Chain A
Amino acid sequence: MELTPSSELLGSQNREEKLSPGKLHATQYIVALVLAVLLVGLWRLQIVSADGYRVLAEANRIRKVPVLAPRGRLFDREGRLLVDNYPSVSCYILREQVKDLSIDLPLIAQGLHLTVDQIQATLRRFQSAPKYQPIPLKQDITPDEQAFIEAHRNELPELQTLDEQRRLYPRDGFAAHLIGYVGEVSEQMLDNDSRYAFYQPGDVVGRSGVEQTYDALLRGKDGSRDVIVNSHGKEVGALGQELAVPGQDLKLTIDLDIQMAAEKALEGKIGAIVAMDPHTGEILALASRPTFDPNQFSVRLTKSYWNEILNNPDHPLLNKATQAQLAPGSTFKIIMSVAGLQEGVAQSMHVMCNGGADFYGHFYACDKHHGMVDINNAIPWSCDTFYYNLANRLGIDTIARYATSLGFSQRTGIDLPDETSGTMPSTAWKLKTQHEKWFAGEVISVGIGQGAVTATPIQLARALGGVASGGVLHRPHVVFPDEVPPDQLSAIHDTFPGSGEKTIELSPENWQIISDAMAATTVTGTAAASHLEGIDFAGKTGTAQVMSHDALARSGGGHKTVPNAWFVGMAPRRNPDIVVTVLWQNGNWGANSAKLGAQVIDAFVEKQRKRANNIRIAEMPAPTPAPLSPTPGSPPVTPATKPAAE
């Protein structure tokens, strides 16, 4: 370290006029030591720990920005757009960006038109999420709010905007139960449902209808961009990106024209209409009333709207076509007829109807004095006396066997969530559920679709359509199976089990008897008022009491005591192209429902005729954004549980 002192100096100088060489040498050593220490410091950072710091440097400058995949659109069977997306901007909060978020909250609240409490509630909900994960603060923000975020980039670096595609549903709850809606995945779903194992809190998923069943296909795959940011979070460049894979578009089996006819028929009523192609199980229309506005669910649901839905006694969220389990009334007589004919009993039965009959010490009424009745007029006249006798002859377990083979007390397996199965009583069923023996007299009411029998509209459509098709029953579905990859399809079938594809034995003679009798219903029978001229229209009405005669007498009347009106109709009578079930709750007479069913059948036949004549079918106007009216001040709510099925 020591530098050689220049020799030229040594000599004449006064000793006191020179610094001591020892001290200068000491200084040289000190300097060398200081530099050596700094060198060690550099070595430690740049050689020993370089890799670790390299990772930190990368983490500093690279931020992963999600690129959200647009959800697949939904089309009707003719390719007409039902559900579209529209571009929207959401505001996210990055907790990593600031030390103390609470200081900024009042400003953020003001700029985004939220309250501090709302923001804090959101933050609490995401407390357990990893720090680097952006938290959705407000969806579908206005241009004003966007401008606020842009203007406060330096003061509020934690706010980030993200372009999203938002769902745009048809207005006025059109086909809302079939289509469903999307919303944030709930904690309950994340914790309890294996289908959501790989979802993150905050992910938008289908929460009902097709949106839920086909979520895996519709959602696509989110991508991400690696962007280079500076210390203020400003984007200064991009590295790579993983492209978002858009969700798959789906073609529904719904026919917009028939759906519109169904929606129109149900207007102002409570009930459901389902129309199906019995050759395949394709659902042509599915409507339920009262309905709801899925657009309100797709952005943050307001508490007032949610309360309105929850407090409606008629359960707007319930898909009555697949979830309402009610006594099928006289529509059940078709099942009785199948059982009676196949068992060889009904062919030879001739019953004198004097407005009812006595069984086991009780009088069972019929609504008319039908006189002498056989199977050919028992169906169109819907004579109860005939079926009381038939039920008594067959016994409950034979009836149950036929009903079960036609899909009663099982789900149909339709690809819509939360289908219910209805009930088909039998001796075993009663022993199991009520731990009691079956009383022989109980079978009499079952014969006319009362008592413990319940069914859903979709079950009736499948069963009666199946009978009219000669005993071939299909799994109802709302999405064409060839739109769905095979593994997905079998997964959906596993998730929505049901009686599915089935063929029951039905001899051609019996098939003819039943279908001819159903055709007579719309000509001379209970649905004669709904006769469609020139259309081979067959059907069966049902008027199901909602309470017993005794209870009715005690209740003192009221709208809710009025019987439910059922109708199952089809065209043509044999091997029908369409089967329609109408449930009009408290609609009083099956004949009333038959009129609604006739409107749907008429729309279907009208369309076929137009097509035959090559007339263009009217296009439905594309949906426009529904006006959103978020209520300021009311915190958003997430539907946690679905209302119980009726």
Chain B
Amino acid sequence: MPRLSAYRDFDWILLGFVLVLSIISVLEIKSATLHTKFHGFEQKQIGFLLVGLVLMFLISLIDYHRLIDIVHWAYGISIVSLVAVKLVGTKVLGARRWIKLPGGIHFQPSEWVKLILIVAVARYFWNLAGKELTWKDIWKAFALVCIPMALVLIQPDLGTSLTYVPILLCGLFLGGLRTKQAAILLLTFSLLGGVAWKSGKFLKPYQKARLTAFMDPDSDPKGSGYQIRQSLIAVGSGGVWGKGNNQGTQTQGDFLPIPYTDFIFAAFCEEHGFVGAVGVLLLYFLILMRLIQNAQTASDLPGAFIVMGVVAVIVFQIAVNIGMVVGLMPVTGIPLPLMSYGGSSILFTFLSLGIVMNVRMRRFVN
């Protein structure tokens, strides 16, 4: 147990930014579900946030070194749970992503696997610290991330499985991957990716259609391009100042798809305009910079790796989600951290922030 005084080192400023964003999220969820059967989701979101805050404090109590010590067990369990999802999971909209637990709780293992992977990757590269990465080291790192990733991909859940990629990339980048190795990897994967795309065996047609629709949403405005087109209309029609809270015609008229989860930023942009959107981006910028600063001040390498893993995942999700909303990225179903409605997403974010706090609180401990 840390000294109580360690909470002086708890990152209250970071928490402040996070809470501001959470309040914005709750208000926008309320607006986006106003006339739908999902009315009242903002209250559930508040519940998730409170649980998240508690978990954040709880996880900050446990020394992250202890977490690193037991991560191989957690990793094993997560592989088992992912297999279990595939076998006994609840099927929703054609994908098995959830396990139904007693008490009506739906548990989505793939979100937690993200957290475990961050710690596992930190531990892996910590062990390799100081030496040059060999090809064998690199392949092992790939295996570490790609096994759970493949299990999530076949659920199928392309979006979540993609969020594991930045964890690996971040580890490789910070772990000492040389430029030459990076170039070879990049070349190989572009080739493999190209072949895989052409063969059509790895992605379902609807996934492919979604991935390409963002380049020309008007080619099939009622089909694969519908979501992205409605999102662009929502964001664009918001203009400088937005249409006002609860006033977004795209959001309120149910034109914008799932405006409380994946497209919440589009709903927000429609109702609060460019000014509001810049404000949210600024908050994200401050949060991320604060996180990177925490990585700099970490007392040891694994702590820094963990923090940077969290940064990588959050940046990736922001880039892919907002990129999707403004038509720069395909529709992948990745939620926007701290904004999108959803228990698993909120709890993951707060737990990962809790680990960051954990690292920060122990920055003077050797």
Interface residues of A (CB under 8 A from B): 3, 5-6, 8-9, 13, 16-19, 21, 23-24, 27-28, 30-32, 34-35, 37-39, 41-47, 49-50, 52-54, 56-58, 60-61, 98-99, 228-232, 236
Cβ–Cβ contact A3 & B254, under 8 A:
no
Selecting from B187-195, B297-305, B345-353, the interface stretch reads B297-305
Assess the B292–A27 pair: CB atoms within 8 A: yes
- CB-CB under 8 A from A50, the residues of chain B are 236-240
1/0 per residue, CB under 8 A from A, across B290-314: the answer is 0011011111110011001001000
Instruction: Indicate if the CB atoms of A9 and B296 lie closer than 8 Å.
Output: yes
Kindly list chain A residues whose C-beta atoms are within 8 Å of the C-beta of B223.
99
Q: Closest chain A residue to B221 by CB distance?
A: A99
Q: Which of B269, B293, B308, B315 interacts with A3 by CB under 8 Å?
A: B293
Chain A positions within 8 Å of B237 at CB level: 50, 53-54, 56-57
Known: A46-B239, A60-B230. 12 other contacts (CB 8 A): A19-B298, A27-B308, A35-B318, A38-B322, A42-B277, A46-B273, A54-B237, A57-B237, A57-B249, A61-B250, A231-B253, A232-B254
The answer to the question of B284 belonging to the interface, with a C-beta cut-off of 8 Å to chain A, is yes
Is B12's CB within 8 Å of the partner chain A? no
- B327 interface residue, CB < 8 Å from A? yes
Residue B197, interface by CB 8 Å: no
Chain B residues contacting A99 (CB-CB under 8 Å) are 222-223
Complex CA gap A232/B289 in Å reads 43
A18:B301 contact, CB within 8 angstroms = yes
- A47 vs B254: C-alpha distance when bound (angstroms): 24
Q: Does B67 contact A (CB under 8 A)?
A: no
A-B contact pairs, 21 of them (CB 8 A): A6-B293, A9-B297, A18-B301, A19-B301, A23-B173, A23-B174, A27-B292, A31-B315, A34-B315, A35-B285, A38-B326, A39-B281, A42-B235, A42-B274, A45-B232, A45-B235, A50-B239, A54-B237, A60-B230, A60-B233, A61-B249
CB-CB nearest 6 A-B residue pairs: A53-B236, A41-B326, A57-B237, A46-B274, A50-B239, A45-B236
Main secondary structure of the interface of B (DSSP, over half): helix
By a CB distance below 8 angstroms, the chain B residues around A21 are 296
A236 pairs with B253, CB closer than 8 A: yes
0/1 interface trace, chain B 230-256, chain A, CB 8 Å (1 if under): 101111111110000000011001110
- The chain B residue with its CB closest to the CB of A30 is B315
Whether the Cβ atoms of B253 and A24 lie closer than 8 Å is no
Inside 8 A of B240's CB, which chain A residues have their CB? 46-47, 50
Contact check, A230 vs B289: say whether CB atoms are below 8 A apart. no
Tell me the B residues contacting A by CB distance below 8 Å.
35, 129-130, 173-174, 222-223, 230, 232-240, 249-250, 253-255, 269, 273-274, 277-278, 281, 284-285, 288-289, 292-293, 295-301, 304-305, 308, 311, 315, 318-319, 322-323, 326-328, 363
- Bound-state CA distance A101–B328 (Å) is 32
| Residue from the list B230, B232, B274 in contact with A43, Cβ < 8 A | B274
Q: Quick check: B285 and A32 within 8 Å, CB to CB? A: yes
Q: What A residues does B300 contact at CB under 8 A? A: 13, 17
For B305, list chain A residues within 8 Å (CB).
Answer: 19
| Bound complex: CA A479 to CA B329 (Å) | 69
B295 touches A24 (CB 8 A): yes
Of the candidates A31, A46, A232, which one forms a contact with B238 in the assembled complex, judged by CB atoms under 8 Å apart? A46
Which residues of A sit under 8 angstroms from B311, Cβ to Cβ? Answer: 27, 31
Q: What is the minimal beta-carbon distance from A32 to any residue of chain B, in angstroms? A: 7
In the assembled complex, which residues on chain A have CB atoms less than 8 Å from the CB atom of B281? 35, 38-39, 42
Q: Is the CB of B323 within 8 A of A16?
A: no
Contacts of A98 in B (CB 8 A): 222
B254 adjacent to A231 (CB under 8 Å): yes
What residues of chain B lie closer than 8 Å to A58, measured between beta carbons? 249
Q: Return A289 CB to nearest CB of chain B, in Å.
A: 56
- With beta carbons under 8 angstroms apart, the residue of A19, A45, A236 that contacts B308 is A19
Say whether B292 contacts A24, CB under 8 Å.
Answer: yes
Q: What is the CB-to-nearest-CB distance from B294 to chain A, in angstroms, rounded to a whole number?
A: 10
Contact residues in A for B295 (Cβ distance below 8 Å): 19, 24
Query: Are A47 and B274 within 8 A (Cβ)?
Result: yes
In Å, the complex CA distance between A231 and B222 comes to 11
Residues in B with CB closer than 8 Å to A18 are 301, 304
Report A15 CB to chain B, min CB distance, Å.
Answer: 9
Contacts A38-B323, A53-B233, A99-B223; A16 near B129 (Cβ below 8 A): yes
Across the interface, which residues of B come within 8 angstroms of A19, CB to CB?
174, 295-296, 298, 301, 304-305, 308
Question: How far, in angstroms, from A44 to B305 measured CA to CA in the complex?
Answer: 36
Chain A residues within an 8 Å CB radius of B254: 230-232
Which B residues touch A17, using CB under 8 A?
129, 300-301
- A13 contacts B299, C-beta separation under 8 Å: yes
Residues of A within 8 A of B230 (CB): 60
Residues of A within 8 A of B319 (CB): 34, 37-38
Question: Are B274's CB and A34's CB within 8 A?
Answer: no
- How close is A102's CB to chain B, nearest CB, in angstroms? 15
Instruction: Tell whether, in the assembled complex, residue A56 and residue B323 are in contact, meaning their CB atoms are under 8 Å apart.
Output: no
Interchain nearest-CB distance for B181 vs A (Å) = 15
Which of B269, B322, B327 contacts A46 (CB under 8 A)?
A: B269
Q: Could you tell me if A57 and B273 are in contact, using CB atoms closer than 8 angstroms? A: no
Q: In the bound complex, how far is the Cα of B348 from the Cα of A208, in angstroms?
A: 76
Query: Complex Cα distance A633/B289, Å?
Result: 73
Across the interface, name the chain B residue whose C-beta is closest to A2. B289
Pick the most buried of A21, A28, A229: most chain B CB atoms within 10 A of its CB.
A28
Given A6-B297, A34-B319, A54-B239, A228 and B274 contact (CB-CB distance below 8 Å) = no
Contact of A31 among B35, B232, B288 (CB under 8 A): B288
B289 x A28 contact (CB < 8 A): yes
Contacts of A38 in B (CB 8 A): 281, 318-319, 322-323, 326, 328
In the assembled complex, the CB of A30 is this many whole angstroms from the nearest CB of chain B, namely 7
Cα-based distance from A58 to B236 in the complex (angstroms): 12
Flag if B326 contacts A42 (CB, 8 Å): yes
Q: Which residue of A lies closest to B321 (CB)?
A: A38
Whether A42 contacts B269 by the Cβ 8 Å rule is: yes
Cα(A29)–Cα(B363), bound, Å: 24
Q: How far is the CA of A49 from the CA of B326 in the complex (A)?
A: 12
- Measured between beta carbons, the chain B residues less than 8 angstroms from A47 are 239-240, 274
Q: How far is the CB of A99 from chain B (nearest CB, A)?
A: 5
Nearest-CB distance from B215 to chain A (Å)? Answer: 14
Chain A residues lying within 8 Å of B232, measured Cβ to Cβ, are: 45, 53
When C-beta atoms are compared, the residue in chain A nearest to B294 turns out to be A6
User: What are the residues of chain B within 8 A of A9 when measuring CB–CB?
Assistant: 296-297, 363
B250: A residues at CB distance < 8 A: 57, 60-61
Tell me the complex Cα distance, A35–B326, Å: 12
In the bound complex, residues from chain B placing their C-beta under 8 Å from that of A228 are 249, 253
Given the complex, which residues of B lie within 8 Å of A44, measured CB to CB? 326
- Bound: A49/B237 CA distance, A: 8
- Whether B129 pairs with A42 at a CB distance below 8 angstroms is no
For B297, the chain A residues whose CB sits under 8 A away are 5-6, 8-9
Q: Are A54 and B129 in contact (CB under 8 A)?
A: no
Q: Say yes or no: B278 contacts A39, CB within 8 Å.
A: yes
Q: Closest B-chain residue to A43, C-beta based? A: B274
Q: What are the residues of chain B within 8 A of A35 when measuring CB–CB?
A: 281, 284-285, 318
